[in-house]
Homo-oligomer: A and B are copies of this chain.
């Protein structure tokens, strides 16, 4: 069923399962809390859309003060731009003829910006943009220690910035570095030291470019786990945090992060079997709940632990035989990784005071290209 009408006004426990729920009060508070933080520092917030993949949520983040959106994929950028958002960063490399053609088309309807880490890619985008009379803004991605994409700081970053400056129809806007290897370290002191060391590499790169007369207007990085570490560094101009809107159990346990936000996302499950006093089976398996960050747990039910997730089932171990969950009963599961969990669902049910207030299609769900 595509239409949202039948659901609006229902109590959440009347929804069939599995269903992806947003607690709207907590979700809105998360957006406000993050927005308020970014009024106190130099950096601005450019929230990552890969978490929620839904333009109306990006619009809420922008209404609260964010400067635009960060995307992982062209399909997300298309969803955002078609929904009227113009300031979009694709924080990954866009490679190949078909994708570059889509990027150029988007550049005609937005101020799109893209991460690059090779001269060949800059040249290919410049050629395509020139042919269409478009302009594409570029950030040079610098490897700040995660050892994924990105050029090394120093000379390689300078050389790539100079390639961009020499190429027509593309513009060098600054540097990007993601300290992803540090964002989920639970200990605050350790995480702060690691993130600062990583971002220092980006700052060193900026100074190196400036010494060679290349201005670096934009400095982009950061995630939910480092929003008030990377976000407080004066050289940074943009932070890409995304998960804070939902805050899964993994980030909830990160010291210095979990205190600021509330977990607003859950997956509603139904008990389908209670074969014995100590075992409960629910209808939420790996096709609706990601487990790469650990097995998700039920919310607010004592004496019950989810011990296994198979394709279609969750298995709960009951340590208190008085737990009265039986087939047909519903419970909410807290995701351990919100981003990959959202990508398994087609829509959100927005809940306030227990009632379905809104149904949002996840426009960029599965848009992996």
A interface with B by C-beta (< 8 Å): 16-19, 50, 72-73, 92-93, 95-96, 98-99, 117-118, 120-121, 143, 147-152, 180, 270-275, 279, 281, 283, 286-288, 290-292, 310-313, 315, 327-328, 339-340, 343-346, 365-366, 368-369
Partner of A339, one of B93, B152, B311: B311
Q: Is the pair B275, A343 in contact by a Cβ cutoff of 8 Å? A: no
- Min CB distance, A290 to chain B, in Å? 7
The closest CB in chain B to the CB of A16 belongs to: B98
- Min CB distance, A237 to chain B, in Å? 23
Q: Using Cβ atoms and an 8 Å threshold, which residues of chain B touch A99?
A: 16
The closest CB in chain B to the CB of A274 belongs to: B118
Apart from A292-B292, A346-B366, what are 7 other A-B pairs with CB-CB below 8 Å? A16-B96, A17-B369, A73-B312, A93-B273, A148-B310, A149-B272, A291-B292
Q: List 9 A-B contacts (CB under 8 A).
A: A16-B99, A17-B96, A93-B272, A93-B273, A93-B327, A95-B327, A96-B270, A120-B328, A149-B275
Partner of A327, one of B121, B143, B315: B121
The closest CB in chain B to the CB of A271 belongs to: B95
Q: Using Cβ atoms and an 8 Å threshold, which residues of chain B touch A310?
A: 148, 180
Q: Is the pair A273, B117 in contact by a Cβ cutoff of 8 Å? A: yes
Q: Is the pair A273, B118 in contact by a Cβ cutoff of 8 Å? A: yes
Given contacts A98-B16, A313-B149, A343-B287, contact A117 B292 (CB under 8 A): no
CA A311 – CA B118 in complex, angstroms?
A: 22
- Min CB distance, A95 to chain B, in Å? 5
- Min CB distance, A187 to chain B, in Å? 22
Query: Which of A148, A271, A310, A340 has the largest count of B CB atoms less than 10 A from its CB?
Result: A148
Q: Using Cβ atoms and an 8 Å threshold, which residues of chain B touch A271?
A: 95
Q: Is the pair B272, A92 in contact by a Cβ cutoff of 8 Å? A: yes
Q: Using Cβ atoms and an 8 Å threshold, which residues of chain B touch A313?
A: 92, 148-149
Q: Is the pair A344, B366 in contact by a Cβ cutoff of 8 Å? A: yes
- Min CB distance, A278 to chain B, in Å? 10
Q: Using Cβ atoms and an 8 Å threshold, which residues of chain B touch A369?
A: 16-19
CA A315 – CA B344 in complex, angstroms?
A: 22
Q: Is the pair B149, A328 in contact by a Cβ cutoff of 8 Å? A: no
- Min CB distance, A313 to chain B, in Å? 6
CA A330 – CA B275 in complex, angstroms?
A: 48
Q: Using Cβ atoms and an 8 Å threshold, which residues of chain B touch A286?
A: 290, 292, 340
Q: Is the pair B118, A287 in contact by a Cβ cutoff of 8 Å? A: no
